[in-house]
Structure 1
Amino acid sequence: MADALKPLRLLAHDAEDLGVLSAALQDAVAKIGDIRWDAQARTLTIACNRFRWERAGGKGGERVRSALQFGDVAGVQARNLRRDAKGAVVELLSIGFEPGEEAPAGVVTLTFAGGGDMRVTVDCLDVALADLSDPWATPRTPGHAD
């Protein structure tokens, strides 16, 4: 059980790895202003409050400040996300990958609650997730209607 207390540090270099990151980030919340694309560095970075599913049990749970970074980003498109509303909060539901015609390129899709999404075109999958803070208690466990 001591391992569950360590900060999460994960890398994804293929679709299967990305599925693990997607599960760890389900129901993470972020402000629009905490999503940054640096076209010159070819990175997309999202700072978020991740629900610690690996520690969930009973009522409530824990959240931790985390960062998700995509490397080798060729372009980013957003739909139904107001980039000018920097304080607006979005909830991440899933992350998927669709391979392109020339491996290892493809498109990563981040799906958010409420119908928003981001399409991240990458030359290859180079994704890192890292917990940045100590966890804190939250009284609510995220839930989804069937």
Structure 2
Amino acid sequence: MERLKLVALDEADLEVIAACLQDAVFKTGDMAFSKSAHGFAIEANRFVWEGGKEADGKTWERRRALLSLRRVQAVRSRGIDLANKDTVHSLLTIQFVADDEAPRGAIELVLAGGASVVLEVECIEVQLADVGGAWGTEFRPRHPLSD
């Protein structure tokens, strides 16, 4: 399967990237913010939702991917101990909330356990690219519906 390379410049594009990154896992130490470059990045192990099982019918895939956000003015987090670089997080979704001064707004990375990372942005400018090879996993993420 080809390596994924996506760009988001609006909310619809961002929804596609969010779908591709659902259930991606990463450590706190895999996040980086450059205030001077107005950039934020996360290296994560994403589940390959767009793929299928291997020929043996048992193996799903994960890939190392880089999520890059540009035009980031500020970053804040909730429920994340930034001092513990080895804490593992699971990304549930990415959402955009527009500001009164469009195209400004906030991109929120919603994590399992109630944690989140909120990025104040001038506009949506996001890239997702696979940066490593794939490896097999027997576990497909599941989200049972609650009553």
Classify the TM-score, shorter chain: over 0.9
Equivalent of residue 18 in structure 2, options 10, 18, 22: 22
Q: Deviations over 1:90-120 (max 9, x none)?
A: 0000000011111111100110011100111
Distance across 1 between alignment mates of 2:137 and 2:40:
28
Gaps of 5+ in 2: none
Structure 1 residue 87 corresponds to structure 2 residue 86: yes
Question: What residue number does 2:34 align with?
Answer: 38
Residues 104, 125 of structure 1: 8 Å contact kept: yes
Structure 1 residue 65 corresponds to structure 2 residue 64: yes
Q: What is the CA-CA distance between 1:6 and the residue it aligns to?
A: 0.6
Structure 1 residue 140 corresponds to structure 2 residue 136: no
Question: What residue number does 1:109 align with?
Answer: 108
Q: Deviations over 1:54-110 (max 9, x none)?
A: 113464410000000000000001000111110110000000001111111110011
Q: Which runs of 4+ in 1 moved over 3 A?
A: 56-60
Q: What is the CA-CA distance between 1:145 and the residue it aligns to?
A: 2.3
Aligned to 1:143, the other structure's residue is in SS state: coil
Q: Deviations over 1:19-43 (max 9, x none)?
A: 0000000000000000001111110
Q: What is the CA-CA distance between 1:126 and the residue it aligns to?
A: 0.6
Aligned to 2:17, the other structure's residue is in SS state: helix
Name the amino acid aligned to 1:17: D
Q: TM-score, normalised by structure 1?
A: 0.94
Name the amino acid aligned to 2:111: F
Identity %: 39
Equivalent of residue 50 in structure 2, options 54, 76, 79: 54
Gaps of 5+ in 1: none
Distance across 1 between alignment mates of 2:114 and 2:123:
26
Distance across 1 between alignment mates of 2:87 and 2:135:
22
* Alignment root-mean-square deviation, CA: 1.0
Question: What residue number does 1:12 align with?
Answer: 8
